[in-house]
Amino acid sequence: MNTIQEEHSRLVAFLATETGWSQFDEAWQIALNYEKRDGNWFKRACSDGDKVAGFAIDIVSWKYAIGAYGREHHQARHDLIRALHKEATPETADRCEAGVVEGRLAKIEGWAYPVVTLWGFIESAALVAIEKRVLELEIGLPVTSLYRTHRKMEGCV
């Protein structure tokens, strides 16, 4: 099996092509519990599905939480904030949530590690640092900055 760094390099190369993006996007939609009918994607259920887990990381301490696949996708954020509060002092307790970034991990066919997306407004420099840490911690293959770059090249952003 490839190391996470090798797998990430393979993903970057794969997504450098339109065919790669198209295949990846389709696999991503399937992982998120969508199905394609008449050329359109439709959500099968309210849940993101059993191939998706919630994820949260604190950009101050780099502690993180991963939820169970297939359920309660926001629970990872709550669990991480609860853990940070337990370790906080009275002076720092009100800042426990400030550095928490939420996302999702998805098991996508053909990739040895889960794919990681991050949510919310994250400046580019911070996003690069978070994705670098996600790789270092071997959590998964970050794709948020790759997606942003792709969308800019399409003229969508």
pLDDT (tens digit, 9 = 90+) per residue, 41-73?
A: 888 766 667 889 999 999 999 999 999 888 777
Residue-range domain boundaries for the chain: 4-153
Q: What would the DSSP string read from start to end of the chain?
A: ---HHHHHHHHHHHTTSHHHHHHHHHHHHHHTTEEEETTEEEESSSS--TTEEEEEEETTT--EEE--TTS-TTHHHHHHHHHHHHH--TTTGGGTTTTEEEEEEE--TT-SS-EEEE-S---HHHHHHHHHHHHHTT--EE-HHHHHHHHHHTT--
pLDDT in tens, 2-45: 899 999 999 999 998 889 988 998 888 888 888 888 888 888 76
What is the model's pLDDT at position 71?
75
pTM of the model: 0.85
